[in-house]
Chain A
Amino acid sequence: MKTDIILCGVGGQGILSIATIIGEAAMNENLYIKQAEVHGMSQRGGDVQSNLRISSDPIASDLIAKGSADVIISMEPMEALRYLPYLSKEGWVITSSAPFVNIPNYPDIEDIKAELSKLPHVIAIDIEQIAKDNQVPRSANVILLGAAQKALGLDYATLENAIRSVFGRKGEAVVEANIKALALGKAAQK
């Protein structure tokens, strides 16, 4: 088993907490993990990405080579497009469909949606809206994770357990909200 994942979004959107949950799940499955993160200046509202690799065999490189990522998980639709050179031909894109506009020259969102829909395997969902509609406003990123479950090649229960251990110290209410969010994402899978 080998899954190479690009997590991306805008600084502050919480891509590292998705990475933490996947990392926890992979460790519990005794998989090898490498995860290169971005810290520092780019976190201030700029584009951010993390390379996460999980595998049943030892992993050499901390970074993913172009054309070889199995999944892009993006908190923002234009950011999903930014990393397409890294995606393998049959790779999946799991992305939020809601744009995060903090630059004056943000492209037309309809053009972005059209570009995304050309890809063979895409799930684009409005995670912010789903989160609000279902009273889990702080767990939009976990909805995205749920939608990526199959593409990640990890069992649903494994992710659920990882959420319990990652959010455990924040109390039962936070754990339950995130488990609900994970289920909402799972339901959005094709």
Chain B
Amino acid sequence: MKKLLLGDEAIALGAIDAGLSGVYAYPGTPSTEITEYIQGNTLAKERGIHSRWCTNEKTAMEAALGMSFMGKRALVCMKHVGMNVCADPFVNSAMTGVNGGVVVLVADDPSMHSSQDEQDSRFYGKFAMIPTFEPSNQQEAYDMMEAAFDYSEQQCLPVLMRVTTRMAHSRAVVEVKEKARPENGMNYNSVAANWVLLPANARKRNDKVTAQQIQLEEDAAKSKYNSLSPALPKGKGEKCPLGIIASGIAYNYVQESLKTLALQENGQEVPILKISQYPLPKRLVRDLLNSCEKVMVVEEGQPFIEEQVRGVFDSQNILGRLTGQLPRTGELTPDNVAAALSNAGVIAPLATREVQGVSPLVVARPPQLCQGCGHRDVYTALNEVLKEYENPRVFGDIGCYTLGFLPPYKAIHSCVDMGASITIAKGASDAGQWPAVAIIGDSTFTHSGMTGLLDAVNEKANITVIISDNLTTAMTGGQDSAGTNKFEAICLGLGVEPEHLHVVVPLPKNMPEITRIIREEINYKGVSVIIPQRECIQTFKRKAKERKLKD
């Protein structure tokens, strides 16, 4: 059966068809659509596959381990920076091992379309000694999901599957199975001595997993997802001038360039080692290196393979991002890959293709808060009050409201990671800053802001926290927010004083009330929490539309 699927959807359907019992995830571009697809899938509903959003990536990873402990297959999805949040259970999951298969899907965002950094998750796989898969097209993403679950159970280790933005958010026709594999039954095969990571137990597991790496690398060398083509000549003839190592989606850009800009006069084929399964199979790399004068490494993200291949001898015959043939940062494109291959002489000069310049009329059109968005009213009120103070500082967080940095508001002075608004405000206050205001969204607050608020309450920090609650996880498209209707109770439970906890409705008509409260609470020497609460205008419109469609 053929389906037109987004990379994320191919991954989701691949997991369902591989007998998935639960997906655990926190929304994050470009990984969100995986969980959304499972939430909407008929078979997943019939089977009762777990798909509700988790509070953060750490709770997601741990719940998946629980599912695996009981013998069933679990998928964990996140964006690359989410991996930092779940690093503790992820790294330790190699020590516990798995019972039911676990696949940890991480979607990296090179060029930072919607992210704060460009980290490459393959380093996490190597660091945690966990085998890593990296599909290069949607069909492979679908097929690999079952292979990854099988391999996870065979090796008793989780499998990391790494994709990047263009894989996650690109559609193609995928051939899918007619019938999904049944789910695993529950079992009690998990051995406590593996799962209780007391030092004495963990040392044994560490030795075992470390020894297992040789097998994992040999499996990668034999994997059908890693291939060398065309096959290298067996004899001791002349070396090829250039070979290519291409991983994941980069493989497609290499193929595109070789196809569209082939050198007519010289039909010589360029040997390409495609890498989609790690640990890096050194045997295949050596075969390529032995038969080529130079090798170019083309990979999306950081120079993960390139550094390993160069090694400490810093071989001058290895070309790529570290030597300037490809850009050191940012996404690969068919253009920068073609330029690198063209400069290396394996394809035609790029000058053969005419490219128009950019019209000087074109100006930037930055994203902005929607018309009618409650965050707008919050920033209007906050700016109104803060102009009364000499040196106010506002510590922002991750979400739509980060756009408050841009004109017309220019309202925030920091945005680092999920939950950091409250803790950075506290640190600034500890240093003597006043007013120190934190602004954080509802979903970000439950993701990673609550613990920081407890720190602030315990020390009676002189900060004002604004939880701008739009009842949803808006930036990623309006997913359920874990704390909806619970924020007052959470803040009171953490010890916020009732007289310094306020809920307001951010609308222009309420400006006098909101500005008065902000002013009073900034002047209060202690922790105050103000919760402006109004539904996201996008989810509001969507629900109105759905109601209309029903009627």
Contacts and interface: CB of A to CB of B under 8 A. Distances in A.
B255 A40 contact: no
A84 B359 contact: yes
Interface residues of A, number: 49
Interface residues of B, number: 50
Contact of A46 (B335, B357, B362, B368): B368
Contact of A44 (B338, B354, B357, B370): B370
B469 interface: no
Nearest to B32: A39
A106 B362 CA distance: 8
A67 B366 CA distance: 25
A40 B474 CA distance: 10
Interface string A28-55: 0000111111111111111100000000
Interface in A7-38: 10-11, 23-24, 27, 32-38
A88 B318 CA distance: 34
B365 A102 contact: yes
A35 B475 contact: no
A82 interface: yes
Contacts, number: 144
Nearest to A118: B359
Interface stretch (A56-64, A142-150, A176-184): A56-64
Given A62-B166, A63-B334, 6 more contacts: A34-B172, A36-B171, A39-B114, A40-B29, A78-B365, A79-B365
Contact of A40 (B166, B356, B475): B475
A132 interface: no
A81 B362 contact: yes
B357 A85 contact: yes
Interface of B: 2, 4, 6, 29-30, 32-33, 113-114, 166-167, 169-173, 249, 252-253, 255-256, 259-260, 333-335, 338, 353-359, 361-370, 400, 403, 475-477, 549
Contacts of B32: 39
Contacts of B362: 78, 81-82, 107
Contacts of B368: 44-46, 102
A155 interface: no
A46 B370 CA distance: 11
A-B pairs with lowest CB-CB distance, top 9: A40-B114, A40-B29, A46-B367, A61-B256, A60-B255, A44-B367, A67-B355, A65-B334, A62-B170
Contact of A36 (B166, B355, B367): B166
Contact of A63 (B255, B260, B333, B477): B333
Contact of A11 (B2, B252, B335, B367): B367
Nearest to A37: B169
Nearest to B331: A63
17 contacts: A23-B171, A36-B166, A36-B171, A37-B170, A39-B32, A40-B29, A40-B114, A41-B114, A41-B475, A42-B367, A44-B400, A45-B368, A47-B365, A60-B256, A63-B333, A84-B356, A84-B358
